[in-house]
């Protein structure tokens, strides 16, 4: 195999760890296997020479690269955050990454035995990477670049600064979280102990993406209670929970479905449906960038349940909606220097900034409401959460340069204030 870059080697190592999180678990992390990668990262950070490396009981990993500015000078403490878990929706076990070197711009066979192809007709963005080196799946798992590419890029940046003490920078705080994919990545995050004044999540898509708007998000769970009876004698007595569940879905706007929406358009997404005639359960995610429209969507969801309860009897349909996170835009707008610095750093490196709304969410959305302004940077990956996930090597390498450049740009924001601690005084593990 040809020599590979440090960030690529790190990604290949990290995706070998199965860190898939699980819904409907009260514990954090939701899966104990996430601890394996957390312990590895703790060891690597210590070996690199990072300061105050620690892991919480819930698997959050923290570290610090102290400022090397002149005595008496300091700049805002800057954080970089990525998540360790992969999505519950597709297997992340036994990932077998494949290299497509000098990609020719044509359809890619991911798995010849199972005849699984990634076709340019379905994914025209592939054409933009002709001549690049792509890392893909073998068609049987996701890749895990969401967000292990972010981890690899942050770790490679950290290694650069720790190996090059002559390069000036302010305090850099590093955080890796569990359970982001199930909406709980910020639940146990120690904002005060983390020590950053501002931060970026490194959890986005294509090279150049810069995001400070995300969906307002809620989960919706619908439980439909039916009454089963032998179909031969069912007239007037059977209540088919499956059919009533389908009726509930039909009451939601047909065009507010992920497959019909883009940009700032919100949606209802039926993510899972299980059950039988006696009882059926449906799990939804509800999304909208606009807070007023978001609240309206939740109201309509409740109204659909109310209509069916009036039609079929009280208690037939239970609809429970739980807010997950909110649009970070209102928390980032007072700190637009974060966006300006990231944009300027991209332009300096020849990266075209693509400021877009996130059609999803990140830990940064929650953290912004917890007092840590935290927009989102790209990782370089595409087609997350499924077998068509891929990432160009050159994008990862460029994003590593971007993290270094952003950190250097913050060092230019020098004040005379005394620096505070990067992390809490808790003993390092």
Per residue, what are the HEC states of 26-52?
Answer: CCCCCCCCHHHHHHHHHHHHHHHCCEE
Q: Which residue numbers belong to the known binding site for Zn(2+)?
A: 83, 146, 181, 203, 385
- What CATH number is associated with residue 20? 3.40.630.10
- The answer to the question of residue 39 being in a domain is yes
Do 27 and 148 sit in the same domain of this protein? Answer: yes
pTM, rounded to two decimals: 0.88
- The answer to the question of residue 394 being in a domain is yes
Q: What is the pLDDT of residues 149-180, one digit of tens each?
A: 999 999 999 999 999 999 999 999 999 999 99
CB atoms within 10 A of CB 39: 14
Residue 127 backbone phi and psi in degrees, to 5? -60, -25
Distance CA 31, CA 58 (A): 10
Q: What is the pLDDT of residues 235-279, one digit of tens each?
A: 999 999 999 999 999 999 999 999 999 999 999 999 999 999 999
Do 95 and 187 sit in the same domain of this protein? Answer: yes
**pLDDT higher than threshold 60 for residue 427:** no
DSSP state of 237: T
- What CATH number is associated with residue 229? 3.30.70.360
Of 94-103, 181-190, 192-201, 275-284, least confident by mean pLDDT is 181-190
Under the banding of pLDDT at 50, 70 and 90, the label for residue 414 is low
Q: Which residue numbers belong to the known binding site?
A: 83, 146, 181, 203, 385
**pLDDT higher than threshold 70 for residue 81:** yes
Distance CA 92, CA 154 (A): 21
Which is it for the CA torsion 224, 225, 228, 233, positive or negative? negative
| Secondary structure of residue 362 in the 3-state scheme | coil
Do 72 and 129 sit in the same domain of this protein? Answer: yes
Q: Tell me the residue length of the chain.
A: 429
- The answer to the question of residue 165 being in a domain is yes
- The answer to the question of residue 86 being in a domain is yes
Distance CA 147, CA 390 (A): 12
Mean pLDDT of 86-114: 97
Tokens linked to 313:
């009897």
- The answer to the question of residue 419 being in a domain is no
Quote the mean pLDDT of the chain.
Answer: 94
Tokens linked to 50:
């990072």
Among residues 300, 323, 346, which one ends one of the domains? 323
- Domain span at 342: 4-211+326-413
Tokens linked to 429:
């593990």
CB atoms within 10 A of CB 306: 13
Do 137 and 280 sit in the same domain of this protein? Answer: no
Question: Among 151, 143, 157, 187, which residue's Cα sits nearest to residue 40?
Answer: 151
- The answer to the question of residue 427 being in a domain is no
Active site residues: 85, 180
Tokens linked to 148:
């292990």
Tell me, what's the pLDDT at 422? 46
Do 33 and 146 sit in the same domain of this protein? Answer: yes
- The answer to the question of residue 422 being in a domain is no
Question: Among 317, 306, 318, which residue's Cα sits nearest to residue 243?
Answer: 317
Do 40 and 101 sit in the same domain of this protein? Answer: yes
Do 188 and 88 sit in the same domain of this protein? Answer: yes
Q: What angle do CA 146, 152, 154 make, to 5 degrees?
A: 105
Do 168 and 21 sit in the same domain of this protein? Answer: yes
Tell me, what's the pLDDT at 276? 98
Q: What angle do CA 320, 325, 329 make, to 5 degrees?
A: 145
Mean pLDDT of 64-68: 97
Do 317 and 170 sit in the same domain of this protein? Answer: no
By the 8 A CB rule, do 163 and 135 touch? no
DSSP state of 20: B
| Secondary structure of residue 219 in the 3-state scheme | strand
Tell me, what's the pLDDT at 1? 52
- R_g over Cα of the chain: 23
Do 51 and 184 sit in the same domain of this protein? Answer: yes
In the chain, the number of structural domains is: 2
Do 184 and 233 sit in the same domain of this protein? Answer: no
- The answer to the question of residue 297 being in a domain is yes
Do 373 and 350 sit in the same domain of this protein? Answer: yes
Distance CA 19, CA 16 (A): 9
Distance CA 62, CA 158 (A): 12
């Amino acid at each position: 195999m040809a020599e590979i870059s440090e960030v690529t080697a790190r990604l290949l190592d990290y995706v070998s760890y199965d860190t898939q999180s699980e819904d409907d678990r009260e514990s954090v992390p939701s899966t104990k296997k996430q601890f394996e990668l957390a312990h590895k990262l703790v060891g690597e950070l210590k070996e690199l020479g990072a300061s105050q490396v620690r892991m919480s009981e819930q698997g959050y990993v923290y570290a610090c690269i102290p400022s090397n500015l002149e005595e008496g000078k300091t700049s805002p403490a800057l954080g970089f955050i990525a998540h360790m878990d992969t999505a519950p929706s597709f297997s992340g076990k036994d990932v077998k990454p494949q290299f497509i070197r000098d990609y020719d711009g044509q359809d890619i066979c991911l798995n010849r035995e199972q005849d699984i192809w990634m076709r340019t007709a379905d994914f025209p963005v592939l054409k933009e990477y002709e001549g690049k080196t792509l890392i893909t799946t073998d068609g049987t798992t996701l890749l895990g670049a969401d967000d292990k590419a972010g981890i690899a890029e942050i770790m490679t940046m950290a290694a650069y600064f720790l190996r090059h003490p002559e390069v000036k920078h302010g305090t850099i705080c590093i955080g890796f979280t569990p359970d982001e994919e199930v909406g709980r990545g910020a639940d146990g995050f120690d904002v005060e102990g983390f020590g950053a004044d501002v931060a970026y999540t490194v959890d986005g898509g294509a090279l150049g993406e810069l995001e400070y708007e995300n969906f307002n998000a809620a989960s919706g769970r619908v439980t439909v209670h039916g009454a089963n009876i032998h179909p031969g004698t069912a007239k007037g007595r059977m209540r088919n929970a499956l059919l009533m569940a389908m009726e509930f879905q039909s009451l939601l706007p047909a065009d507010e479905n992920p497959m019909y929406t883009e940009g700032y358009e919100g949606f209802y997404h039926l993510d899972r449906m299980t059950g039988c005639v006696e009882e059926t359960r449906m799990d939804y995610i509800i999304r909208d960038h606009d807070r007023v429209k978001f609240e309206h969507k939740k109201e309509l969801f409740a109204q659909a349940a109310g209509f069916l309860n009036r039609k079929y009897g009280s208690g037939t349909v239970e609809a429970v909606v739980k807010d997950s996170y909110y649009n970070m835009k209102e928390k980032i707008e007072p700190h637009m220097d974060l966006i300006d610095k990231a944009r300027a750093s991209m332009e300096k490196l020849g990266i075209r900034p693509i400021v877009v709304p996130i059609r999803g969410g990140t830990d940064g959305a929650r953290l912004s409401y917890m007092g840590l302004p935290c927009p989102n940077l790209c990782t370089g990956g595409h087609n997350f959460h499924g077998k068509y996930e891929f990432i160009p090597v050159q994008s990862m390498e460029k994003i590593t340069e971007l993290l270094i450049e952003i950190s250097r740009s913050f060092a230019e924001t020098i004040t005379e204030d005394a620096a505070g601690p990067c992390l809490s005084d808790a003993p390092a593990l």
